[in-house]
Structure 1
């Protein structure tokens, strides 16, 4: 009886054994963490900061969305990778998107655009994010499986998109925008990058 209650309280946390090591293997060294109650009440997720020295990249990953009733199967967490100097902007993007999902009780799907009426970051043209696989890390970062090989978690990478790019997607689709990014060799990790549309 006690064991049964304990397992229920854990919310199936045993499914995610090895997740922290998997994230570290790809995203780099953990450098900081922000608890769920950083603003007072529990927002339902924390944030963990990673640094990958080899590429001078910082990745901010949510921690806790997988236990929220978002209707996602498999569960989800969010990530944003930028250059180290821009880590605070990545923190903001993951935070506001995670907060939106928790408040609305919904989840993301591949290539979903999450638009905003105003710039998501001050002094930029970024009006939304694109939910994506990671442009640099291998698929094992995006799709976490348990020891039996069953997929338990998807980590969606948030790629900031400009207002022009949002409109371009509406007219031409996400694949066309990715082709534009490739054509102009856009560095999607650089928040100072120009818009391609």
Structure 2
């Protein structure tokens, strides 16, 4: 038996007409996809890979979270943009975060931190991600609207943050960290970047 929330989440695919074209317009050329059942059972979402040659960036975007009963209004998908050579790390971060949301039946809010006790990527100090608008793509990437202009979907970009930066956010707030990133001209797309805190 399905709940009202589940019926609402599963229905209404028509609300997302034009979404694929919108994502491609901003994130670049689709280069591949990973189905929901890549590990056997259906995890509730797939992953789509994009490449933008102009900036040498790869973006991994979840596909299917919007149909999960997570309670988000509007619906949500996740993205992570990195340099092309680091695309597998972006895949890992989106997969890990999406899996957590599906398992916990929860959703993200702007500027939310999703921390982790251990490094999310081997050999790095990244202990979490910050749910954000996209630092490069226009607002239309983050907020997808239907033909009537009603917002149907938010695409949260996951920005990796170090353990020091997580602690800095706890003390000073997200805005203060963004100011530090701007001050030190941090390239948030580079997973080899140093921590600013």
Aligned position for 1:97:
97
Aligned position for 2:54:
54
Deviation per CA, 1:93-127: give whole Å up to 9, x if none. 00000000000000000000000010000000000
CA distance in 2, matches of 1:51, 1:61: 11
Partner secondary structure for residue 124 of structure 2: coil
Partner secondary structure for residue 61 of structure 1: strand
Partner secondary structure for residue 14 of structure 1: helix
CA distance in 1, matches of 2:8, 2:126: 41
Partner secondary structure for residue 134 of structure 2: coil
> Aligned-pair RMSD on alpha carbons?
1.3
* Cα deviation, residue 25, structure 1: 0.1
Matches within 5 A, 1:130-145: 130-145=130-145
Aligned position for 1:64:
64
Aligned position for 2:178:
178
Partner secondary structure for residue 80 of structure 2: strand
Residues 1:147 and 1:176: Cα distance change in structure 2 (over 3 Å): same
Matches within 5 A, 1:61-140: 61-140=61-140
Residues 1:9 and 1:44: Cα distance change in structure 2 (over 3 Å): closer
* Cα deviation, residue 11, structure 1: 1.2
Deviation per CA, 1:101-160: give whole Å up to 9, x if none. 000000000000000010000000000000000000000000000000000000000000
Say whether residues 1:33 and 2:29 are aligned partners.
no
Aligned position for 2:13:
13
Partner secondary structure for residue 69 of structure 2: coil
Deviation per CA, 1:152-194: give whole Å up to 9, x if none. 0000000000000000000000000000000000000000000
TM-score (structure 1 length as normaliser): 0.95
| Residue pair 2:9, 2:69 contacting (<8 A) in 1 also | no
Q: Which runs of 5+ in 2 are unaligned?
A: 1-6
Residues 1:94 and 1:8: Cα distance change in structure 2 (over 3 Å): closer
Deviation per CA, 1:43-96: give whole Å up to 9, x if none. 000000000000000000000000000000000000000000000000000000
CA distance in 2, matches of 1:178, 1:167: 14
Which stretches of structure 1, 4 residues or longer, exceed 3 Å deviation after superposition?
7-10
* Cα deviation, residue 8, structure 1: 8.2
